[in-house]
Amino acid sequence: MYTVGIETSCDETSCAILRGYKVLSNVTISSLKEHAKYGGVVPEIATRLHLKNIDTVFSHALAKTRLALADIDLVAATQRPGLIGALVVGLNFAQALALSLRKSFIGVNHLHAHIFAPFLNNAAPIRFPFLGLVVSGGHTEIYYVKDFTDIQLVGQTRDDACGEVFDKVAKAYGLGYPGGPRIDAIFDERYKNEFPFKCGRNGTDVSFSGIKTALIYKKMQLEKQQPLTRLLVVKLLSSFQETALSAVVAAVGEAVRRYNVGRIVCGGGVIANRLLRAKLLALASHDVEVLVPPFAYTTDNAAIVAGLGFYLYNTKKITSAFGLPAYAH
């Protein structure tokens, strides 16, 4: 069975085609460069670029598989959450495609799709229950997953998302956008405890606004004494990354204890962070399994959308009505 996936929730325009859970093609055009000059994603620009790129990614994804339109069995698209204008582009394209081909259509929550990423290409068996962790630019959430139709939110950020804070701190320190990869690139293990920053955590919930403010004020304080050197920036941001990511992992550890679950499934753009991956994998033991996706499937992409869409259709016989609206949350 062939599934087309469409993802346009933020700044990536993506189309993938899967046979079952095997990824045959996954084509993504990122508008990162267009947004970098503004220090973040501009919704209007993102929407216009999705309109420009959506047909291109679909055509290229289809061409890579050498399939015909008639071979498509199912069309899945991100319905929520995301930027409304951006979502509407992909959702309408997907519904029009399914309608014109007289095929089934299904709308997908792309946060749930992120925790499907480790199951693509049959890399791991789909087995429940498990804890799902999504860490991205817009979300930091922990789920108790009994099935992909029975997902309970059990932990989250109480203010800023983890990836968002990395972007804002990097911008304040002149590293540019996106901040996450830049901070990860300069992280130095030797300086991870150089500055005693604190990150708020209450059980399985975390808070990043305090450490964000502390980093900004620390910069202002130090600059009154002397210009910041490259080494000092490395020390500050290494301490920041260690503290922020340790809070996320501690929240996950608390969730494991509370729910007595032996499996942690991770997804989202920040899961590409080397330190976070290492800390999460360190949670693994003889009775706790930790699954992280390949780097290619951490950021927003259509393969995860198609994979979850196929699972819901194939195992639960779920479809969506045409005219399905987009939702920001």
Dump pLDDT digits (tens) for 273-307.
999 999 999 999 888 999 999 999 999 999 999 99
Distance CA 174, CA 50 (A): 29
- Residues whose CB is less than 8 angstroms from the CB of residue 253 and which lie 6 or more positions away in sequence, other chains included: 283
Mean pLDDT of 298-318: 98
Looking at the structure, tell me whether residues 157 and 261 fall in a common domain: yes
- Judge whether 120 and 23 are in contact, CB under 8 Å: yes
Question: Would residue 76 count as lying in a domain?
Answer: yes
Distance CA 18, CA 74 (A): 10
pLDDT at position 313, please?
98
Mean pLDDT of 256-283: 97
Looking at the structure, tell me whether residues 243 and 190 fall in a common domain: yes
- Judge whether 137 and 178 are in contact, CB under 8 Å: yes
Burial label for 219, CB within 10 Å (0-12, 13-18, 19+), is middle
Q: Give me the sign of the Cα torsion angle 279, 284, 289, 293.
A: positive
Query: Which residue range forms the structural domain that includes residue 142?
Result: 130-293
- What are 96-114's pLDDT values in tens digits? 999 999 999 999 999 999 9
Q: Report which secondary-structure segment, H or E, holds 3.
A: strand 2-7
pLDDT at position 287, please?
87
DSSP state of 268: S
| pLDDT score of 37 more than 90 | no
Question: Would residue 323 count as lying in a domain?
Answer: no
Looking at the structure, tell me whether residues 174 and 103 fall in a common domain: no
Question: Would residue 143 count as lying in a domain?
Answer: yes
Q: Give me the sign of the Cα torsion angle 169, 171, 173, 179.
A: positive
Best CA proximity match to 174, nearest among 219, 212, 211: 219
Read off the pLDDT band of 144 (50, 70, 90). very high
Helical H runs in the chain? 32-36, 43-65, 84-101, 110-114, 162-172, 179-186, 209-223, 230-259, 274-281, 302-316
- Judge whether 121 and 109 are in contact, CB under 8 Å: no
Question: Would residue 322 count as lying in a domain?
Answer: no
Looking at the structure, tell me whether residues 153 and 264 fall in a common domain: yes
Looking at the structure, tell me whether residues 108 and 218 fall in a common domain: no
pLDDT at position 125, please?
96
- Residues whose CB is less than 8 angstroms from the CB of residue 285 and which lie 6 or more positions away in sequence, other chains included: none
Q: What is the SS3 assignment for 319?
A: coil
- What are 176-219's pLDDT values in tens digits? 999 999 999 999 999 999 999 999 999 999 999 999 999 999 99
Average pLDDT in the chain = 97
Looking at residue 280, which CATH number applies to its domain? 3.30.420.40
- What are 61-81's pLDDT values in tens digits? 999 999 999 999 999 999 999
Looking at the structure, tell me whether residues 165 and 274 fall in a common domain: yes
| pLDDT score of 226 more than 90 | no
DSSP state of 84: H
| pLDDT score of 240 more than 90 | yes
Looking at the structure, tell me whether residues 30 and 88 fall in a common domain: yes
Question: Would residue 329 count as lying in a domain?
Answer: no
Query: How many domains does the chain fold into?
Result: 2
- The pLDDT > 90 percentage for the chain reads 96
